[in-house]
Each structure stands twice: as C-alpha cells, then as structure tokens.
Amino acid sequence: MRKLPLVVTAFTLAAGLAAGCSKNDSSSGASPSVKPSQAASTAPSASASASPSATPSPSAAPVTLKLFHGKQEAQDTFNEIIQKFTAKYPNIKVTQEVVTNDPSAVLKSRIATNEIPDIFSAGIEVMDIAKGGYMAELTNEPYLKNIVDTSLKSLSFTDASGKTWALPVDGSSIGIFYNKKMFADNGLTPPRTLSELKKVTDTFKSKNIPAFALGFKDSWTIKMAIISSFSPAVYGKNINWDTDKNAGKTTFEATPGWAAAFNNLKTIYDTGNTKTAFDTDYNGAVAMFAQGQAAMMPQGLWALEPIRKIAPTLDIGLIAMPTSEDANDAKLHVFPDFSLSISSKSKYTAEAKKFLEFMTTPEIAQLWSNKARLFSAVKGVSTNFDPVAADVEKTIAAGQTVSQADRGWPSPFQPEFDKAISEFLLGKRNVPDSLKQLDAAWTNAAKAAK
C-alpha cells in the first residue's frame, strides 16, 4: 500500500477551493474533564483580525487549557494525546469539552459572551471567526512545516493573503459505506450508475433489508447524505459553481446536478429505514450498519471509528454515490477536514501553541490517524489505518474525486440549506420548489454576509 504519496494526492485534490463539512455530532463522557454543552447564539461582529506576535516561552506555573470541539469519534483519542502531552509538560493541564449539539452555535455563543476556549475547532467557520479578530494568527509557527503543503494552503485554513488561522489535523471523505459480504451474498457489485443503484436497492427491498442506515434524528446526517451526491453532481461538473452563482451566471433551478442530488436524497430516504429514520440518531445508524441491519450508510470517513468499535473485522468499503448513467460521474468527496485554532483572547497562547505543535509530531499524528481512522494532514504519516483506506486510495489514484462542496457558501445560507433538505424529505416541498427556495435563500444570505 502506498503511503505518503497518496496522502499528498488526497490533499492536492482538496486544495484551492477546498471544501467539505465536518460533522456536527458530538458527545459527553470520559475524562480528562469532558463537559457537555448545548447552546445557540448569534455570530460575532466583525473587527480587525488578531495580529501575529512572537510566541513567549511557556510558563512553568500550572496552567489549564480549555480544548473545545465536536468530534465525537476522536474523544478517546484526544484523551490519550492529552495524557501524553501532560507527561511531557506536567505544568499544562488540558480539559477537553465535547459538545452535544450544534458546536458552531455553541462556539459563537462563547465568543459573544467572551468565554472563548483557549483551543477550539471552528469547522467551516474558521475564516468568519478569524475576520472577527478572535483567532491568533499561526502563519509563522515553525511546526507548520510538518503539515502537507496543499492542506495548509487550503482556503479553509489559510486566507487569500497567506495568513494561517487554523492547524489542519486530518483529511476525510464523504460517500457511501457498504457491506461487502451483504453485497457478495446477493450477487451485487458496488453501483456506479443510477440503474445499478436501483438494482441494489430493489434487491435489498425484496429481502426486507433497508438499503441505507439513516440517523436523521441528528439533522446534520441528512446533509451528509446529499453532499455525497451534490459534490460530484454540481461541483464535479463546475468547481466554480459558487462563483458563478454569486455572479448571477447560474442558479439552483438551472443546474441539473442539484435536481439530481435531491432525487438521490429521496432515493436514499425511501430505500432506507424510512419509518424510523427521523427517530434514529447518528449512533443508531452506525450501529444498524455495523450490525448488518442495513447494507449501506451515507456518511463521512469519521464514521469508521465507531463502526470498528462495534464490528472490528466487518468487511466494508467506501464508494462514491452514483449521480447519473455515466459511471465517470460517480466521484468521492475528498477534503481537508478537522482543524484547531487558538483564541486571540487566551492568556496562555504559548502553552496552546505547544499543544498544536505536539499534534504535528510524527508519533501523535500517527496515533491520531490510527485511532481516529482518518488521513493525517502531517507529512509522512502512514495511511495503513484500516482496509477501508485502500478503497479511498484507489478512488483517489483513479482521479474519481471532487474537493468542493459547501465551504464556499455564504455562512447565513448553511442553516437555510439544512432546513430546505429536511422539509423536502418531510414532503413539504417538491424538487422544483426546493430549488426555488434555495435560490431565494442564497440571495438573502449573500446580502447578509456583506
């Protein structure tokens, strides 16, 4: 298995207008000091960005850093990393806070009340929060040389002027997990076209087996299901769709890929655990799939870690979602994903930077990749963390990937999109009306974002 070259390829494909969506799922639980949070608030007002300054040496006095994120599947991994960090820096304690609902809203609430964690993951909000002056600039930090260059330069973490505001930690992909044994037992192969997908869903329907495991009680999972389609169907055809939309050159209604994505979402819903989809959460859907109660599951690579906790040896793969009758249109969404930033208001900037530096060391980066089962953003880290990685690498090597999805959208549009896809599935709007709704929502969001 090729290692570093394929990691570099993955991040190369995700460079430029790099996109994607970090899942909003989270959990409360284990020590050291994991606290649950639920909140919502308004975004911070804009102000001048924080200026870089020389990093002072960490104090020998006892210090407690607050680490905030919503990455449920990495909670145990962070615990292990924190223990190793504290062993190296005994005076620095790190308390991990894993949010239970909508980490973006919780983080904005903390910013609005000036209770910003020392270290935090901002998801797709990195640039908005940086513009507000709430992030310490990382541009000249020496440990950034450990990061794969194309990941570091992604517009998700480094702005157009070359200033870096977040440390890339890993890369991910969004597609369709499938149970290889269930497929083989039914004489099926992974679908590449819509006709092949129909054959698969019809076969499992005839056996009273849900084709897809769905956890729509956690609404962010609906977006994962449709991203697997609109990333290739829209951005795989036109990587500059967002720019064209803002320039008035295209619309949701005029783009066939958007209709195809909504139709695919309906197929996923209709052939999954339809009756229980909105009563089942993310963890429930993962358990369904891992226990062989459904043949497929639309999700990001991050779901691999909880799947393996339930079924360590289950023979599964990750494939691209078909979007047409052309097999070449089926592309996997690959992108730089999780990152960490430092609050510009932190009293312990030097200690926080020590933690970020620690995350880029070979030992810790490999630990993260192996335990979280994700592609590392750190140079030289092996991708041999799970057999599923081979499927992703094969797709990358074949050039069947697309890097863009939702990170070029106006921030106020994100919740409007989430609302639209939920209402569509619940039968409140058909495809044409949903696309009209999105066109209007984009126009309003673009004005609000200015």
Q: Using DSSP bridges, classify how beta strands 119-120 and 339-342 pair: parallel, antiparallel or unpaired.
A: antiparallel
Q: What is the pLDDT of residue 65?
A: 98
Helix 256-270 × helix 413-425 angle, to 10°: 50
Residues 34-45 have a mean pLDDT of: 34
Nearest CA-CA partner of 337 in 6, 3, 43, 10: 10
Structure tokens at 56: 């002072």
In the block, residue with structure tokens 């490999």:
366
Q: What is the pLDDT of residue 207?
A: 97
Question: pLDDT grade, residue 72 (50/70/90)?
Answer: confident
Is the alpha carbon torsion for 260, 265, 268, 271 positive or negative? negative
Residue 281 to residue 285: CA distance in whole angstroms: 6
Q: What is the pLDDT of residue 133?
A: 96
How far is CA 411 from each of CA 52, 56, 117, 268, rounded to the nearest angstrom? Answer: 26, 35, 22, 27
Residues 391-397 have a mean pLDDT of: 89
Residues 149-167 have a mean pLDDT of: 90
**Residues of the chain above pLDDT 70, percent:** 87
Q: What is the pLDDT of residue 40?
A: 33
Residue range 340-352, pLDDT digits in tens: 999 999 999 999 9
Run of H or E including 134: none
Question: pLDDT grade, residue 100 (50/70/90)?
Answer: low
Question: pLDDT grade, residue 264 (50/70/90)?
Answer: very high
Q: What is the pLDDT of residue 105?
A: 87
Is it the case that residue 329 has pLDDT exceeding 90?
Answer: yes
Residues forming beta bridges with residue 384, ordered by sequence position: none
Question: pLDDT grade, residue 204 (50/70/90)?
Answer: very high
Residues 32-40 have a mean pLDDT of: 35
Q: What is the pLDDT of residue 33?
A: 35
Q: What is the pLDDT of residue 10?
A: 37
Residue 230 to residue 49: CA distance in whole angstroms: 33
Q: What is the pLDDT of residue 303?
A: 95
Is it the case that residue 22 has pLDDT exceeding 70?
Answer: no
Residues 415-429 have a mean pLDDT of: 96
Residue range 242-263, pLDDT digits in tens: 999 999 999 999 999 999 999 9
Phi, psi dihedral angles at 48 (to 5 degrees): -65, 140
Is it the case that residue 54 has pLDDT exceeding 90?
Answer: no
Is it the case that residue 12 has pLDDT exceeding 50?
Answer: no
Is it the case that residue 32 has pLDDT exceeding 60?
Answer: no
Residue 138's Cβ-side half-sphere holds a number of Cα atoms within 13 Å equal to: 32
Residue 392 to residue 398: CA distance in whole angstroms: 10
Which structural domains are found in the chain, ordered by start? 22-169+338-385 (3.40.190.10), 172-334+409-449 (3.40.190.10)
Strand boundaries in 32-138, DSSP class E: 63-69, 92-98, 119-120
Q: What is the pLDDT of residue 265?
A: 98
Residue 86 to residue 92: CA distance in whole angstroms: 6
Q: What is the pLDDT of residue 58?
A: 59
- The DSSP letter of residue 404 is -
- Mean residue pLDDT of the chain comes to 87
Higher pLDDT, 226 or 20: 226
Q: How far is CA 443 from the centre of its chain?
A: 25
Is it the case that residue 290 has pLDDT exceeding 90?
Answer: yes
Residues making up the chain, counted from first to last: 450
Residue 316 to residue 289: CA distance in whole angstroms: 10
Question: pLDDT grade, residue 210 (50/70/90)?
Answer: very high
